[in-house]
Homo-oligomer: A and B are copies of this chain.
């Protein structure tokens, strides 16, 4: 299991073969996040993308929305492995 809950956020780091691949993944995640109207706190350096998911409207804790988004992100990632 890639995701872990810590400090009231759902966290995971994904690694790609290079920046171009990492950004292809980010583009897919961006579309899904906007569609769910639930946006991640995420960062990227070169081939690595890290997420800290929590729900602002619920007081910055992990909710069902974060679990759903985390599953969608993992599903997108599968294709890149």
Q: Does A13 contact B (CB under 8 A)?
A: no
* CB <8 Å contact, B33 and A28: no
* CB <8 Å contact, A34 and B21: no
* CB <8 Å contact, A41 and B31: no
A27 — which chain B residues lie within 8 A by C-beta? 23-24, 26-27, 30
Q: Does A12 contact B (CB under 8 A)?
A: no
Known A-B contacts A24-B24, A79-B21, A79-B80; A41 and B30 likewise in contact (beta carbons under 8 Å): no
Given A19-B33, A20-B34, A34-B34: 14 more A-B contacts, CB < 8 Å: A20-B76, A21-B28, A23-B28, A23-B30, A23-B31, A23-B34, A24-B25, A31-B31, A35-B35, A41-B45, A42-B44, A42-B45, A43-B43, A79-B79
